[in-house]
């Protein structure tokens, strides 16, 4: 189930405590999931689903998750046990940009 994302949108996981804020959103709808289930609006009640096998791994508070091919970037505001994915592809934590040398 693909959803249209907007920068600043807040989403919650259907399977755990994970919450994210969309930092950068692509123009087209995205099949964004957590723990193998689609994300819900932040004000929705979590369901009784469990994490799908292969989508464990958790999310880390304060970390950014991105997919550069899609132009998608998320900020985790509450950690959870399920992994964030676009379809079947699990998103990786975005690394810090190296600072320029000061010498």
Taking the alpha carbons of 23, 11, 72, 15 in that order, is the dihedral positive or negative? positive
Domain ranges for the chain, please list them.
10-93
Report pLDDT for 103: 64
Residue 24: other Cβ atoms inside 10 A:
16
**Residue 60 clears pLDDT 80, i.e. is over it:** yes
What percent of the chain has a predicted confidence (pLDDT) above 90?
71
Asked whether 32 and 61 are in contact (CB, 8 A), the reply is no
């Amino acid at each position: 189930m693909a959803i249209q994302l907007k920068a600043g949108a807040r989403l919650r996981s259907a399977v755990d405590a994970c919450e994210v804020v969309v930092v950068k959103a692509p123009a087209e709808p995205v099949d964004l999931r957590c723990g193998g289930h689609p994300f819900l609006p932040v004000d929705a009640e979590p369901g009784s689903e469990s994490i799908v096998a292969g989508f464990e791994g958790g999310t880390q508070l304060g970390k950014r998750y991105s997919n550069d091919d899609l132009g998608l970037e998320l900020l985790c505001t509450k950690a959870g046990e399920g992994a964030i994915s676009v379809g079947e592809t699990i998103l990786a934590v975005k690394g810090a940009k190296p600072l320029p040398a000061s010498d």
